[in-house]
Amino acid sequence: MNLVEITAAGHGVLFDLAYAGAGNFTGRPVYRRRACYLHVDAASLLADAIRMAAVQGLRLKIFDAFRPAEAQWVMWRHTPDPEFLADPRRGSPHSRGVAVDLTLVDGAGRDLDMGTDFDAFTALSHHGSMAVSAEAQRNRALLLGLMTAAGWDFYRNEWWHYQMFDSRRYPLLGDSVLPVAMM
């Protein structure tokens, strides 16, 4: 297995794993177990972003990372919107272990204002949205700068989504690859 578990103690990140509870766009838990995994290559890039954020007195808070292919189907069946969700027939970078949804928090653990909540499926969530406050635009630019400097690509429709370049070279993975199932 090329997935590694990302933990608060081991990586210095915070978690708000949206799909492990009901506080997500489906209104119910998608995962049965709270866990965060990334492909070893993506975990290395995340470590670089964590170090760069720390220099600024900031930390990363992760909403989602590896998403078993089965979970992508659950989400797609609920909201088949290709502007915000990858069609599971094509596969998501999340289901390859090479994407992460995250935000920045300050030294006290407070989320920086990004203009929308995570998974707000509206045009306000687009990286280039000028309809959010100037502060939110600056914070999005800061996150974008940290993540791209660490080697991540971004998805223009979601300020929170980052993925590895050439993500399709990684295979789609299901829940069965995990040491303990999430689904």
Residue holding tokens 């920045």? 104
Residue 22 within any structural domain of the chain? yes
Residue 183 within any structural domain of the chain? no
Question: Does the annotation mark 5 as catalytic?
Answer: no
Reported as a single tens digit per residue, the pLDDT across 2-32 is 999 999 999 999 999 999 999 999 999 999 9
Residue 182 within any structural domain of the chain? no
Tally of domains in the chain: 1
CATH of the domain at 163: 3.30.1380.10
Q: Which amino acid type is present at position 88?
A: P
Q: Which domain holds residue 27?
A: 3-177
Question: Is this prediction's pTM over 0.85?
Answer: yes
Overall average pLDDT of the 125-153 stretch: 98
* Residue 1 or 93, more confident: 93
SS3 call for 78: helix
CB within 8 Å of 50: residues ≥ 6 apart = 11, 12, 13, 59, 60
Q: Give the mean pLDDT of the chain.
A: 97
